[in-house]
Structure 1
Amino acid sequence: MGRTSVRPLPVGYDLDKHFGFRGRSARDSNRPDGAAAVNAVAIDTATDVLSLAVSTAAQRYYYQAEAGLRHGQQMMPVLAWLLQQASLPREAIELVVCSDGPGSFTGLRIGMACAKGLAAATGARLVAVPTLDALAWPLRVWPQPVAVAIDARKNRFYVALFHGPHKLTQDLDITPAAFEKLLEQHAADGPVLLTGPGAAQLHGRLNAPQRTQRDTHWRAGAAAGLLELGRLKAEDGQYAAESHGPNYVRVSDAEIGVLRQ
């Protein structure tokens, strides 16, 4: 299966309209999540897509592009460019949000190291958000269950199911066959919406794809969801400790080798 084609988004691209937040500024106390406005940066390097966002009281700026294995090379120059577009000096950053897995082991380490470094350098607070939760957040108003998938390679996928704001499963590392068994429990009232960067690959490997409705419009990356969930966690005081590390879900090949010794 080919990779999803993702283009860099123009500065100021209205993802808020895409996600149903149109007409609400970051200062608006009537926002659906009730979260306070802060100068925030969101960093997602969990997949092949580099997804970044900068939010101020007046505007949000997003960037995403297929980065492959070049997250480390692209992330800091792009982030500096976004901050410049937002007229936000680094010392004014109040909150840094990053995805903490599941996803690419290397990508997660790069993103979290960058987020920790930025928080330490600016005095901002750090929040870590599960990758699948951030990807599902824009679809919390969808009437049917939603399955978010990331290609985990080796014919396996990182998957979690959601319905509205509720998470129905933990983060799973499963095969397409195991996912179909999961659908038997959650697709009784209609097809499950299958979304995320691994949706096309997973959908193509199902024996009964009619149990899912593939989200063909997925383009947003995780950064927008990270901003929203990051603010909510910050309001609840759920900041990441300095020792916080990625949630890989899967045991690494190196760890498997050690366990076999």
Structure 2
Amino acid sequence: MNVLAIDCASELMSVCLLHNDPPIRVVLRMDAGLTHGARLIPAIESVLSSAAVDLSEVNLVACTRGPGSFTGLRIAMATTKGLTAATDLPMAAVPSLEAIAHSARCWPGLIVAAIDARKKRFYAALFAAGARLTPDMDAAPATLALFIERHCGELPVLLTGPAANMLLPALQLHWSAAHQPAQPPVSQSAVSPAKGTTIPTCIVDAHARGSVAEAVAELVSADPARYRLSDDEGPVYVRDSDAEIGVTAPRPRSVPEWARTDAQRSPDVL
């Protein structure tokens, strides 16, 4: 099966062509920032051109389904659906964090796949021995620390994904504060012992910011039926967008000038 895979779930955009006969693997990865919409189609054209493969030779188009950047996920999904509609090809979508963890599947211990969710939070999930241990989460470092403590073994915990370098210091800061010795009352001279359990050892995957699209292509090639996407399915966001929150949140009602108290009126009106 010849698979064209794309990922725009984070600022690191990637495109991969996995061609079976002859065996060809072309991967393009770039820091797209907020320019996925302008860069994705040229990136796809570049990958196909580098492999000397026409889109008509592709058997399936796949993308990451989320969680991740709201705009990036929509762009990837819309592009996937557009390409498959134009060529009558099947399409597939892989959960973003599952694809990230797949890239680190050789790690023998606990794997934490993470994407920056902004607002000091992370989209994350835990994996081990090829199995998912948690659902996709929109979580603060303190919450992720609890899950890591619950599932970690004797081996170091591997942090991977675009936000791995951000997650490590956030976890270290949490554990540093949580395991500080309690301050004794002024009347006591003894220092209370440190509380809590042993702090897990976490390391950042050397390939944490690698091509997620390549993992998507590998997963879909191995089991296309599992990741098949229908026309009426879309991205999985995990969190409501700021726009949706703004629409659903009640807006403060303005009080007419004539109905305001003296305290509510501006100085010019008094």
Aligned partner of residue 219 in structure 1, secondary structure = coil
1:164 to 108, 123, 129: 129
Larger deviation, residues 40-49 vs 85-94: 85-94
TM-score, structure 2 as length reference:
0.79
Find the counterpart in structure 2 of residue 248 from structure 1: 237
Check whether the contact 1:96–1:118 (CA below 8 A) recurs between aligned residues: yes
Aligned partner of residue 109 in structure 2, secondary structure = coil
Find the counterpart in structure 1 of residue 265 from structure 2: none
Find the counterpart in structure 2 of residue 59 from structure 1: 24
TM-score, structure 1 as length reference:
0.82
The CA distance in 2 between the partners of 1:104 and 1:139, in whole Å, is 22
Deviations 1:107-128 (Å, cap 9, x if unpaired)? Answer: 0000110011111112211001
Aligned partner of residue 248 in structure 1, secondary structure = coil
In the TM superposition, residue 254 of structure 1 has moved relative to its aligned partner by 2.0
1:1-261 matches, within 5 Å, as 38-57=1-20, 58-206=23-171, 207-208=174-175, 210-234=200-224, 236=225, 238-261=227-250
Q: Which amino acid aligns with 1:158?
A: Y
Deviations 1:149-202 (Å, cap 9, x if unpaired)? Answer: 111000000000011210110000000111111111012423211111101111
Check whether the contact 2:27–2:211 (CA below 8 A) recurs between aligned residues: no
Cα 1:227–1:156, aligned 2, differ >3 Å: closer, same or farther? same
Find the counterpart in structure 2 of residue 30 from structure 1: none
In the TM superposition, residue 210 of structure 1 has moved relative to its aligned partner by 4.7
Find the counterpart in structure 2 of residue 25 from structure 1: none
Structure 2 alignment gaps of length 5 or more: 176-198, 251-270
Find the counterpart in structure 2 of residue 14 from structure 1: none
In the TM superposition, residue 215 of structure 1 has moved relative to its aligned partner by 1.5
What count of residue pairs does the alignment treat as equivalent?
223
Aligned partner of residue 204 in structure 1, secondary structure = helix
In the TM superposition, residue 85 of structure 1 has moved relative to its aligned partner by 1.4
**Identity across matched positions, percent:** 42
Cα 1:93–1:142, aligned 2, differ >3 Å: closer, same or farther? same
Structure 1 outlier segments of 4+, above 2 Å: 188-191, 207-211, 216-219, 257-261
Check whether the contact 2:60–2:90 (CA below 8 A) recurs between aligned residues: yes
The CA distance in 2 between the partners of 1:190 and 1:211, in whole Å, is 8
The CA distance in 1 between the partners of 2:162 and 2:132, in whole Å, is 19
Structure with bigger gyration radius: 2
Deviations 1:61-111 (Å, cap 9, x if unpaired)? Answer: 000010001111111112111111112111121110100100000000001
Check whether the contact 1:152–1:158 (CA below 8 A) recurs between aligned residues: yes
